[in-house]
Structure 1
Amino acid sequence: MRKSELRKNYLEMRKALSIDEVALLSENIFKNFVDYFKPFPSQKVHIFIPIEKFKEIDTHIFIDYFLSRDIRIFVPKIVDTKLISVEIFADSKFELNNWGISEPVSNENSEVLDFDFVITPLLYCDRHGNRVGYGKGFYDGFFETLYGKTKKIGVNYFNPDENIDDVWENDIPVDYLVTPTEVLSFFNNGLE
């Protein structure tokens, strides 16, 4: 199936979720992430702030967990059409940008490229790690800059069942997908 069809279908499926379903599914995704990856103090995690109107996974659960365990947290911010990483702390200030997305007030790019985990928003991910996002390409550009050991992890409410037919040369897949029911690895065609 083409990205445009998948984007439309999965936006509709996400839109149909209730607030309670979003909370429960997000909690299950969080538990699967922690059980599988077992993050520990001093690791560096890049994670997105959810766009609530799009019913994105509630990553505040992750952020609270990381803060309580001295795991360093970085969040994306778009500055001059480029995605930068801003380190955040318990007392960091946030504001809504022009699109209604919560971002840190700070524009200070951490310049960190050796994250342990980059937890990535997406609308759909197939069984090869290919992603469908909102179509802006910010994460492909960001992924190109990361050190090789960084684990790129997609999080999604839905398990993959369709292949993406129009994967482009510059598309960079994720290494893992965490859903409410499983963690998929895409190394060696899904066999780690």
Structure 2
Amino acid sequence: MLKADLRKIYMQKRKALSTDEAFLLSEKIFNNFLSYFRPVTGEKVHIFIPIEKFKEIDTQIFIQYFLRQNIRVFVPKVTDRLISIEIFENTEFTVNNWGISEPVSNTDSGEHHFDYVITPLLYCDKHGNRVGYGKGFYDAFFQSLSPDSKKIGINYFNAEESIDDIWENDTPLDYLVTPTEVLSFFKDSE
């Protein structure tokens, strides 16, 4: 299917979820992530802050856990590009024009190696190709990362349809975590 069609279908599926369903599915995704990856103190995680009006996965569950475990947390902020800002318990946030909560600071951490880059998406196929909101910020961000940073998509829905219109600048994910499974897109499993 084409990205535009998948974007419409999965936005509708997401909208159909109740707030309680979305939270329960977010918890299952979080538990699957922890069981599979087992992050430890001192590791670095880049993770998005959810856009509530789009019923994105509740990553606050992840963020609070990481901060309690002394796992370093970085979140995106869009300036002319996507930058990465390290956050702490006392970090101040503001809501931007797109309704996304982001740090007040504009100071890019300069980090290019993360143990995990937890990525928003609307859909991901069985090859790691993702459909986002179509702005291209994450594909450009992925290009700046060290090759051993694990790019992990999280989604309420399993990979079913293939994405037919993959572009040259599209960067596939390394993993997909859903409420029911963790998919690895490496040819040779780790």
Structure 2 match to 1:64? 64
SS at 2:113's partner residue? coil
Letter in 2 for 1:4: A
* CA distance, structure 2, for counterparts of residue 9 and residue 154 of structure 1: 18
SS at 1:76's partner residue? strand
Q: How much identity, in percent, do the aligned residues show?
A: 68
What's the CA shift for 1:100? 1.3
Q: Superposition RMSD on alpha carbons, in Å?
A: 0.8
SS at 1:26's partner residue? helix
Structure 2 match to 1:6? 6
* CA distance, structure 2, for counterparts of residue 144 and residue 99 of structure 1: 24
> Any unmatched runs of 5+ in structure 2?
none
The aligned runs of 1:161-180 (5 Å cut-off) are 161-180=160-179
SS at 2:56's partner residue? coil
SS at 1:77's partner residue? strand
SS at 1:24's partner residue? helix
* CA distance, structure 2, for counterparts of residue 31 and residue 101 of structure 1: 24
The answer to whether structure 1 residue 138 and structure 2 residue 119 are counterparts is no
> Any unmatched runs of 5+ in structure 1?
none
Structure 1 match to 2:184? 185
Runs (4+) off by over 4 Å? none
Structure 1 match to 2:18? 18
TM-score normalised by L of structure 2:
0.99
* CA distance, structure 1, for counterparts of residue 49 and residue 100 of structure 2: 8
Number of paired residues?
190
Structure 1 match to 2:154? 155
TM-score normalised by L of structure 1:
0.98
Structure 2 match to 1:74? 74
* CA distance, structure 2, for counterparts of residue 129 and residue 147 of structure 1: 18
